[in-house]
């Protein structure tokens, strides 16, 4: 929370976003699902994938870069493989459809590899990981991002050639532990985090951005609004670059939706392709023994003496759970620039109501 920020209850943000999306032509269940998804990202602390994206989504609907009422379609289903074409539907709608197509196969066969092509922005991938974990499945997600210019420089390069290609790994809760949820961009910081920092006039960690001369910087101003000058750096040097590259290939090639190479169209929207591998733990061994081992490993890792006694070791997924609890009670903080972008976008969409 910065000086000038306001806190707005999640329910008010959801109603606002759903109304604007409906005004843009989305049918009510789609508008509600997308609005819920955006605000759930804010609650989880990922403002980069929260309601601040609404102006971009509304712009995409005006420009035909998302088909506001499209439904994804299963285009291939054989054995443990299922493929969906998102037909430019809202990512939240297409992502849930992919999960629902995978779960019965994973139940029956022990695992399912599902691909999704041509989906509008899937947003926070952890949402689909949570869907799998809540149903008792483990799941691995590899996602690429197309339909616009690349954003991330390959390790050793000086300009963008990759997307922020998120990777997510989810495991179901045990009797005593919550779900394990690793959900991350393969860039050192997510694109939206650079935008949020630029909107707030803040710096980002040095080297997480490469400026338009190819030099490392901590200045995110090239990412203000929705413009992009410069490139994001991959996390973990050559290792993050390798993972981003792998996500590009697994999601873009196997789904048939394509990679970010320039032979594929770049209309100025956001498309995601996804490869998700859904696993049924029951097919791999005795569920009780597996849970005991997971719990023991969890306890062991988190018992490491903290480097900073005020910050004990936590598990992937813990920060999001903690913030969700807090923000659900206290409201979602929004900075003045994001608030202005939201109110301007809603006004342009014909919504009288203003936030803040
Ligand atoms: P992040 O760096 O905030 O967190 C990454 C992961 O690290 C999370 O699983 C988190 O629980 C875990 N974590 C954070 N602090 C921790 C700690 N101290 N100890 C243990 N674990 C910890 O996330 P990010 O890389 O900025 O990604 C943000 C979001 O952006 C994700 O939800 C991702 O799916 C989304 N994203 C989406 C797209 C897309 O095209 N749809 C592209 C890029 C990113």
All structural domains of the chain, each given as residue ranges with its CATH number in brackets, are 1-62+317-356 (1.10.1530.10), 71-187+234-303 (3.30.1370.60)
Query: Ligand 1, from 182, 184, 195, 314: best to mutate by most atoms within 8 Å of Cβ?
Result: 184
Nearest atom of ligand 1 to the alpha carbon of 193: 26
Q: Is 183 in the pocket of ligand 1 (CB under 6 A)?
A: yes
Q: What is the mean pLDDT of residues 200-225?
A: 90
Give the mean pLDDT of the chain: 95
CA distance 27 to 69: 6
90 vs 349 pLDDT, higher one: 90
Answer yes or no: are the C-beta atoms of 313 and 319 closer than 8 Å.
no
Q: Taking 90 as the threshold, does the pLDDT of residue 53 lie above it?
A: yes
Ligand 1 center to 314 CA (angstroms): 14
Strands 271-279 and 73-78: unpaired
Query: Given pLDDT bands bounded at 50, 70 and 90, which one contains residue 226?
Result: low
Give the residue among 269, 271, 191 at the shortest CA–CA distance from 229: 191
pTM: predicted TM-score of the whole model, two decimal places: 0.96
pLDDT of 172 > 90? The answer is: yes
Residue 188 CA to ligand 1 center (angstroms) comes to 10
Predicted confidence (pLDDT) per residue in 238-274, tens digit: 999 999 999 999 999 999 999 999 999 999 999 999 9
Cα of 350 from ligand 1 centre, angstroms: 34
133 lines ligand 1 (CB under 6 A): no
Nearest-CA residue for atom 10 of ligand 1? 316
CA of 236 to the centre of ligand 1 (A): 14
* Mean of pLDDT values over 285-291: 96
Angle at 202 between CA 144 and CA 155, to 5 degrees: 40
How much of the chain, in percent, has pLDDT values that exceed 90?
A: 89
**pLDDT value of residue 54:** 97
Phi, psi of 343 (to 5 degrees): -65, -40
The rounded distance, in Å, linking the Cα atoms of 281 and 292 is 13
Does ligand 1 lie within 6 Å of residue 124's CB atom? yes
Q: How far is the CA of 184 from the centre of ligand 1 (A)?
A: 3
Query: For the segment 94-141, what is each residue's pLDDT rounded down to a tens digit?
Result: 999 999 999 999 999 999 999 999 999 999 999 999 999 999 999 999
């Amino acid at each position: 929370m910065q000086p000038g920020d306001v806190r707005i209850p999640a329910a008010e943000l959801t109603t606002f976003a759903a109304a604007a999306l409906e005004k843009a032509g989305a049918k009510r269940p789609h508008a509600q699902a997308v609005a819920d998804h955006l605000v759930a990202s804010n609650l989880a602390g990922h403002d980069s994938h929260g309601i601040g994206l609404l102006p971009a989504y509304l712009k995409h609907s005006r420009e035909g870069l998302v088909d506001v009422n499209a439904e994804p379609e299963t285009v291939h289903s054989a054995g443990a493989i299922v493929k969906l074409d998102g037909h430019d539907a809202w990512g939240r709608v297409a992502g849930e459809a992919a999960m629902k197509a995978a779960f019965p196969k994973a139940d029956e066969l022990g695992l399912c590899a599902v691909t999704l092509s041509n989906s509008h922005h899937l947003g926070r991938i952890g949402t689909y990981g949570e869907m799998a974990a809540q149903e008792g499945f483990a799941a691995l997600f590899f996602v690429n991002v197309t339909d616009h210019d690349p954003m991330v420089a390959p390790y050793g390069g000086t300009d963008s050639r990759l997307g922020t290609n998120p990777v997510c790994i989810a495991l179901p809760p045990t009797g005593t532990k919550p779900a394990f949820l690793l959900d991350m961009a393969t860039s050192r910081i997510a694109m939206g985090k650079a935008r949020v920092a630029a909107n707030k006039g803040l710096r980002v960690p040095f080297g997480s951005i490469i400026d338009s001369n190819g030099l490392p910087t901590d200045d995110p101003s090239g990412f203000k609004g929705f413009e992009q000058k410069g490139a994001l750096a991959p996390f973990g040097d050559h290792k993050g670059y390798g993972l981003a590259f792998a996500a590009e290939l697994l999601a873009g090639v196997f789904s048939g939706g394509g990679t970010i190479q320039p032979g594929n169209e770049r209309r100025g929207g956001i498309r995601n392709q996804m490869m998700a591998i859904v696993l049924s733990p029951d097919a791999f061994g005795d569920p009780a023994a597996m849970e005991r081992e997971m719990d023991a490993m969890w306890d062991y890792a988190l018992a490491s003496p903290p480097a900073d006694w005020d910050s004990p070791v936590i598990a992937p997924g813990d920060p999001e759970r903690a913030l969700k609890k807090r923000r659900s009670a206290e409201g979602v903080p929004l900075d003045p620039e994001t608030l202005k972008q939201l109110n301007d976008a809603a006004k342009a969409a014909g919504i009288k109501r203003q936030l803040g």
